Every structure is written in C-alpha cells, then in structure tokens.
C-alpha cells in the first residue's frame, strides 16, 4: 500500500497542469452548450441570428450599460469604436505600452498615432500622473490629442476617477479596453460603463470566453449605437439600401452568441471562484522576499484574467525554467512593451522612455488561473514556486 501511495504522489507531481482549463468548464455546461448549438443548426441563421439580440440584452443587463453591440472579436470592438469617432491621420490617442498589441494596433491601422504612456507599479494599468506628459508628447510631434484608451489589464479596472477627470479637463474622450477586464468592478460601477464606449473580447482564454473569436461593445450613447450597427455591417444604412459610411464585417456568429449566453449564466460564480483562488495564491506566497503578489485597491474587484507575480533580483527566467521542470505552466505578459516593437518604435512616448514598463517586462510571470483550479493543484503550484525560489 505504501508503494502505491508513493507512486500516486509521484504521478500527481508529474502530471502536467492546464494553464486555463476550458475542458473543466465545458464539462459543467456541456448539455446547455450543445442545446445552444443545436438551436442554431435548427433555425439556420448562422450569422446575426436571434441569439445575438438575446446576448446583447443579457450582457447590457449584467454590467448596467444601456446598450451592447455584439461583434466578431475584441479587436473589432476597438476598431469600430475608433472608427465611430472618425480617428485618422494627424490624431493622437494615448494608450499604455504594457498591453496586448491590438490596443495600439487599431489606432495605427486608421492612420492615427498611438502615444505610449507608462504604467503604475502596482496595478499594471495606465499611470494617470503621466497623462499631461503624454499630451505634450503628442503636441510636440505635431499631433492633435483626441482621446485615451484605458486598459483594464489582467482583469483589474484602471483608475477611472483620475483618467475621466483629466479627459474632461482637456477635451479628450475615454475608451475602455476591457478585453481582459469584463466582469470587474470599480467603486460600485461595473466594467462596461466607463468612457464613451467599452470594448471587450470573448476570445476563449478570457474570463468570459466563447469557443472562437467574438467580442462586444458597451455604450450609453444612443447615436453611437446606430453608427456602430452600420460599421458592423459594411457601413450599410439601417434604414435604407445605402452605405453612408465605410464599415467592415464585424458581425458575430450565432453559435458563439448561443454559447456565450450559457457561459454568462455561470459567470458570477466563476468570478467568485477566481477571487478565492487569487486570495489563496496571495496567502501562499507570503514571506517570499523576491516575490511581489498583485494588489487590488479598496473598492475594486478584479476578474483575474491573469494572476501575475513580479519576481525581483533577475530571477524570473530561472523560476520559469524550474517550474517547467515540475510541469507547472507559466506565461509572460509581456516580454516587451509595444513601444519597443518594430512597427511601433517610432511613435511618441512620454518622456522618451517608459521605465516602469521596461522593468516589469523583465519581472512579470503569470501562473495558472481559472475557476476550476482544484485546491490540490493550487497547493502544488504554490509549493513549486516556494521550492524553486528557495533554490535560486
């Protein structure tokens, strides 16, 4: 019996862990998802079917926005909101460099200029104290500052009190890039209710993810809704057979909407699970001098799209290698700020350098985070990190 128990423990340690366990979630709701897909197969309206309207209503109700517009991806959501504002050559849009490429990519795609701003040490989000310098950098480059894209990185809402106040004082708009943040809360307000519009992604790995690409926009602006509906469908008029504006194919597939309707029903429960798992991680890493755990300010709730540590003293890469040997997966978001990547290196940035972004790119590492992470597996991850750090 002793040999069997020892073998089981060895096999447990050797078992590869999922970074995000979509299979466990699917097991929970597989019958409902299958029925949702079958309903689409039965009615045959594969694009923009009745599921789209229901999903839009459910999403808006969930976050408290007046309107939700389903679209093909989170990237489409960003692009459509920028197109609706008429952003183009000569315009500047302030955005953090420590984020996924799409944030700046959609600005550049329209011929405008992203202006890169540094981030806060604790939150990983745009540093509002750097906004005046970002405006000056835009003007020095001969650009007209038009707006700010705030990113809710790793699931934590940005500092909207400070960002919105600065934007109002300086005649700028705010766009919330909530590709990682939908489901989060900022001082009693749900993500989806900030700025003139919010863009989110339902990429499978997101906290609320489909089984393919899809996304959504949230806004309270009635006039903007009509424009976005037109942009989503090749700029077609919603009232006549005409194309009054240039648009794109930003439509969502009905099957994705049907799947998301079912996933949204369990989303509040999953957010609670993510919060509990993050708290367990934080407690498990107490006392590790070279490990800094994430902080959620009072009044905010993260949706924990990622659980991200900062590893000091140049030990991050050694830790990643050690965890790999123990079959504990990790991810690094991001190895390099957007401002240092080939296509974006010549765009303006605050002060000519982004020191916090540059440093954190060498320190951050994300651990497995999903609502179905078992106590046993999480204990194994914590033990592996502690063991690895003790040996470095």
> pLDDT higher for 277 or 3?
277
- pLDDT at residue 15 in the model: 85
Instruction: Identify the CA nearest to 148 among candidates 177, 124, 119.
Output: 177
Instruction: Identify the CA nearest to 208 among candidates 196, 233, 187, 190.
Output: 190
Name residue, tokens 């183009």: 88
| C-alpha distances out from residue 359 to 103, 155, 234, 311, Å | 20, 21, 42, 11
- pLDDT (tens digit, 9 = 90+) per residue, 213-246? 999 999 999 999 999 999 999 999 877 789 899 9
- pLDDT (tens digit, 9 = 90+) per residue, 195-214? 999 999 999 999 999 999 99
Total length of the chain: 392
Q: What is the mean pLDDT of the segment spanning 126-149?
A: 98
- pLDDT (tens digit, 9 = 90+) per residue, 245-274? 999 999 999 999 999 999 999 999 999 999
Dihedral sign, Cα of residue 50, residue 51, residue 54, residue 59: negative
- pLDDT at residue 237 in the model: 86
pLDDT for 130 beyond 50: yes
Phi, psi of 105 (to 5 degrees): -60, -40
Judge contact between 187 and 205, C-beta under 8 A. no
Give me the torsion for CA of 361, 365, 369, 374, rounded to 10°: 180
């Amino acid at each position: 019996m002793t040999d069997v128990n020892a073998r089981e423990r060895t096999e447990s340690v050797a078992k590869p862990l999922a970074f995000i366990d979509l299979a466990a979630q699917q097991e929970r709701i597989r019958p409902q998802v299958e029925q949702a897909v079958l309903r689409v197969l039965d009615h045959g309206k594969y694009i923009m079917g009745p599921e789209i309207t229901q999903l839009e209503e459910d999403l808006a109700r969930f976050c408290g926005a007046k309107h939700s517009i389903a679209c093909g991806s989170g990237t489409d959501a960003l692009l459509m909101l920028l197109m609706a504002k008429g952003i183009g050559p000569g315009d500047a849009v302030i955005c953090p460099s420590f984020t996924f490429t799409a944030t700046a990519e959609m600005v550049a795609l329209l011929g405008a200029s992203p202006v890169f701003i540094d981030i806060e040490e604790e939150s990983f989000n745009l540093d509002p104290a750097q906004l005046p310098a970002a405006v000056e950098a835009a003007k020095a480059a001969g650009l007209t500052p038009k707006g700010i894209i705030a990113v809710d990185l790793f699931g934590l809402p940005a500092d909207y009190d400070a960002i919105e106040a600065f934007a109002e004082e300086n005649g700028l708009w705010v766009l919330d890039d909530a590709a990682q943040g939908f489901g989060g809360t900022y001082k009693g307000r749900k993500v989806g209710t900030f700025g003139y519009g919010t863009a989110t992604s339902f990429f499978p790995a997101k906290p609320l993810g489909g089984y393919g690409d899809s996304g959504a926009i949230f806004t309270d602006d009635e006039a903007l809704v009509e424009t976005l509906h037109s942009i989503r469908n090749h700029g077609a008029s919603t009232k006549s057979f005409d194309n009054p504006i240039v648009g794109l194919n930003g439509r969502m597939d009905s099957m994705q909407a049907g799947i998301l309707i079912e996933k949204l029903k369990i989303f509040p429960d999953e957010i609670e699970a993510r919060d509990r798992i993050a708290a367990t991680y934080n407690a498990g890493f107490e006392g590790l001098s070279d490990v800094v755990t994430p902080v959620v300010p009072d009044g905010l709730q993260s949706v924990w799209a990622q659980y991200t540590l900062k590893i000091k003293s140049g030990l991050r890469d050694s830790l990643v290698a050690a965890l790999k040997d123990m079959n504990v997966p990790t991810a690094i978001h991001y190895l390099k700020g957007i401002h240092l990547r080939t296509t974006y290196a010549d765009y303006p940035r605050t002060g000519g350098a982004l020191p916090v972004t540059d440093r954190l790119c060498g320190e951050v590492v994300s651990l497995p985070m999903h609502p179905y992470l078992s106590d046993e597996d999480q204990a194994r991850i914590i033990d592996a990190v502690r063991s690895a750090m003790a040996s470095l």
